[in-house]
Amino acid sequence: MEKLTARNSEEGKNTLLVLQGPNLNLLGERETEIYGTDTLDSLHLKLEEHGRKLGVRLDYFQSNHEGRIVDRIQQARLEPVAGIIINAAGFTHTSVAIRDAILGVNLPFIEVHISNVYSRESFRHQSYLSDISSGVIVGLGTGGYRLAMDALVSQLIRAGVLSGQDPLA
Ligand code: DQA
């Protein structure tokens, strides 16, 4: 696949920020029947590899603390970040502050959930992020993050922010 070496990597804009919310540090040991056996590190290695194919850089951030996630999102406006992939985990269903932070930086983002939140408790059906996202991937396991990368890169290419081969074309 052609790499995104043009325009935006020269400007350093070909970075996607991957945000992981509370308890995702326990991936691979926590409720493995729901979340699978990938650890956060093994998942990020796979994403790194996928990023190389797509020609994008990834920055990762995991926190169990709402305010730290808000700070990390705000920091992105000072960085050459083109878009965000976020699994806000439990904060998805509660956090006006994370919603406001994402609205504040005005970056396209894809919301990911490893499990199918709609087949679980009703409080997980509510998301403070979905309606302002540029897409939601739910219930496809940790593979959903790679699908989110493809979708975000495709959207960024179509928006003229990145250039290169559209992975969804
Ligand atoms: C989750 C679903 C959330 O409801 C839950 O609180 C999580 C993980 C998922 O990836 O399936 O921690 O976001």
Active site residue 125: no
Residues in Cβ contact with 41 at an 8 Å cutoff, skipping those fewer than 6 apart? none
Ligand 1 atom closest to 113 (CA): 10
Tell me which residue has its CA closest to atom 3 in ligand 1. 89
Q: Which residues line ligand 1 (CB under 6 A)?
A: 23, 87, 89-90, 92, 113-115, 117, 124
Q: Which of 44, 113, 128, 145 is catalytic?
A: 113
Tell me which residue has its CA closest to atom 12 in ligand 1. 89
Structural element, H or E, at residue 10: helix 7-10
User: End-to-end distance of the chain based on CA atoms, in angstroms?
Assistant: 12
Q: CA–CA separation, 91 vs 64, rounded Å?
A: 9
pLDDT of residue 158: 96
Pick the CATH number of 7-158 from 3.90.420.10, 3.40.50.9100, 3.40.50.12280, 2.160.10.10: 3.40.50.9100
What is residue 57's three-state secondary structure?
A: strand
For the whole model, what pTM was predicted? 0.94
Question: Closest Cα to residue 128, out of 159, 161, 158, 89?
Answer: 89
Ligand 1 atom closest to 89 (CA): 13
pLDDT of residue 13: 81
Q: Are 149 and 118 in contact (CB under 8 A)?
A: no
Active site residue 44: no
Å from CA of 39 to ligand 1 middle: 15
Q: CA–CA separation, 94 vs 151, rounded Å?
A: 26
Q: Which residue has the tokens 């609205």?
A: 103
Q: Give me the residues paired with residue 110 across strands.
A: 85
pLDDT of residue 12: 63
169 residues of the chain, pLDDT tens digit each: 344 443 444 456 899 999 999 999 999 999 999 999 999 999 999 999 999 999 999 999 999 999 999 999 999 999 999 999 999 999 999 999 999 999 999 999 999 999 999 999 999 999 999 999 999 999 999 999 999 999 999 999 999 999 999 999 9
